[in-house]
Amino acid sequence: MVKKAQLTYDDKSLDLPLITGSENEQAIDISKLRSSTGLITMDNGFGNTGACSSSITFLDGEKGILRYRGYNIQDLCEHASFMEVSFLLLYGELPSVKQLEQFSHDITKHTMLHESLRKLYDAYPRDAHPMALMSAIACSLSTFYQDSSDPLNPDHIKVTIFRMLAKIPTIAAYAFKKSIGQPMIYPNNSLSYCANFLNMMFSVPAEPYEVDPDIEKALDQLFILHADHEQNCSTSTVRMVGSSHANLFAAISAGICALWGPLHGGANQEVLQMLKHIHEDGNDVKKYIDKAKDKTSNFRLMGFGHRVYKNFDPRAQIIKKTCDRVLSKLNINDPLLDIAHQLEEAALKDPYFIEKKLYPNVDFYSGIIYKAIGFPVEMFTVLFAIGRLPGWIAQWKEMMESKETRIGRPRQIYTGPNERKFLPMHKRQA
């Protein structure tokens, strides 16, 4: 039997088909609603709106489940590399040894930036936020590959995906080097994806630098945890921009901007600044818990709460363990970690946070790890972006390949003035 929902309004009634996903989640298909009734639906913040069908990522916020292409995030973190996970997200299956070798090779040969692009960095102030640089340079890539960035041409798509994955770590590391006045370090294609990034970030021409394999592993795992999260703000932005058939560079550049906001990926930078502030203010955790609950204050406990997770964020649980591991390996005793533990403990016992189902999210502990590795706070959201890149691209690719895709164009309910007569300047009030 075909399942349907029935909508009744005034004296009319309309049958609306139900769509069922592979994990039995259900949606009411309202695509014919306006043409049949003249009505649209309203859903501020899209909390109840499905914008697409997708076979990439499944998450169940009530049960704290996150899977990429059916594989549990815990298993992927434990057994796979970021390159394997990127392949999985993009092409739907885990790669064989040969496929992974080819994929890594295809990416590696595109790691360098055009020399003119390198010079572009000099046009920006030294204290420019690296997310601004990343977005600008990612979009600028389109000007260097005008003959191969047609989003409808499969050969162009293939090479653009490799270029994007290869060049984003280089773009990010150059932004950091620019901010501290050190020479930019060229990519080293004999290193792994993460080791090459660490090398471009932290090595200097004057002395040898060796990548710590434990740090490389931790970063790889953090990238896996960030790699996709279905239709979040930045991914929806990438899809929206891509739906107009803008090229992939432009769509990713827009996604980077969306991620930058403190309610989204920018929260990892905010968390660390908040922990620092609490520390400098005498470690009074209760004061800040109370402030977060106070409706007259704008303060929120950064790194807490999530639109979808209403139980726990499985990414945060893994990151918390990685955090302990990295800090103990580096022999770091960070007072901010103690504050984070105290905040978590206090919030999890507090009726306000319990009732509103606010738990630590992916951003709560990640910054402490990044800080321990040596990344400055301004780079935290950049790291989120590098991790999220394969997810953005996979979602963009899926959208471009789907026959159902139409340009994204929401409706509105107009609440402005009704038609009025034009008022000449001399008759207008001050």
Active site residues: 306, 363
Examine residue 361 and tell whether it contacts ligand CMC (CB under 6 A).
Answer: yes
Beta bridge partners of 204: 207
Interface mask toward ligand CMC for 210-239; x: CB under 6 A: -------------------x--x-------
Examine residue 362 and tell whether it contacts ligand CMC (CB under 6 A).
Answer: yes
Interface mask toward ligand CMC for 32-71; x: CB under 6 A: -------------x--------------------------
Fill in the amino acid letter for 163.
R
Looking at the Cβ atoms of 251 and 362, the one nearer to ligand CMC is 362
Binder among 356, 374, 401, 402 for ligand CMC (CB under 6 A): 356
8: part of which helix (H) or strand (E)?
Answer: strand 4-9
Q: Which residues contact 298 (CB under 8 A, 6 or more apart)?
A: none
Q: Cβ atoms within 10 A of the Cβ of 421, count? A: 5
Examine residue 129 and tell whether it contacts ligand CMC (CB under 6 A).
Answer: no
Stretch that binds ligand CMC, among 62-70, 125-133, 164-172, 297-305 (CB under 6 A): 297-305
**Helices 335-349 & 363-373, crossing angle to 10 degrees?**
170
Examine residue 307 and tell whether it contacts ligand CMC (CB under 6 A).
Answer: yes
Binder among 265, 367, 387, 390 for ligand CMC (CB under 6 A): 265
With b for 16 or more beta-carbon neighbours within 10 A and e for fewer, the 275-314 pattern comes to bbebeeeeeebeebbeebbeeeeeebbbbbbbebbbebbb
Stretch that binds ligand CMC, among 15-23, 195-203, 264-272, 327-335 (CB under 6 A): 264-272
- DSSP string of 139-163, one letter each residue: HHHHHH-GGG--TT-HHHHHHHHHH
Q: Considering the complex, what minimum distance in angstroms separates the CB of residue 65 from ligand CMC?
A: 16
SS3 11: coil
First CA to last CA distance, the chain: 66
Examine residue 363 and tell whether it contacts ligand CMC (CB under 6 A).
Answer: yes
Looking at the Cβ atoms of 188 and 231, the one nearer to ligand CMC is 231
Stretch that binds ligand CMC, among 116-124, 183-191, 302-310, 403-411 (CB under 6 A): 302-310
Examine residue 304 and tell whether it contacts ligand CMC (CB under 6 A).
Answer: yes
Binder among 89, 157, 292, 394 for ligand CMC (CB under 6 A): 292
Looking at the Cβ atoms of 322 and 361, the one nearer to ligand CMC is 361
Where are the alpha helices (H) located in 294-404, listed in sequence order?
A: 314-329, 335-349, 351-355, 363-373, 380-401
SS3 189: coil
How many Å apart are CA 332 and CA 372, to the nearest integer? 7
Looking at the Cβ atoms of 106 and 350, the one nearer to ligand CMC is 350
Kindly state the number of chain residues that form the binding site for ligand CMC, as judged by CB under 6 A: 21
Q: Which residues contact 233 (CB under 8 A, 6 or more apart)?
A: 258, 259, 261, 263, 264
Examine residue 344 and tell whether it contacts ligand CMC (CB under 6 A).
Answer: no
Q: DSSP secondary-structure letter at 334?
A: -
Q: DSSP secondary-structure letter at 400?
A: H
Q: Considering the complex, what minimum distance in angstroms separates the CB of residue 304 from ligand CMC?
A: 4
Looking at the Cβ atoms of 149 and 268, the one nearer to ligand CMC is 268
Binder among 169, 187, 255, 305 for ligand CMC (CB under 6 A): 305
Examine residue 303 and tell whether it contacts ligand CMC (CB under 6 A).
Answer: yes
How many Å apart are CA 176 and CA 45, to the nearest integer? 34
Give residues in contact with ligand CMC (CB under 6 A).
Answer: 45, 229, 232, 263-265, 267, 292, 300-307, 356, 358, 361-363
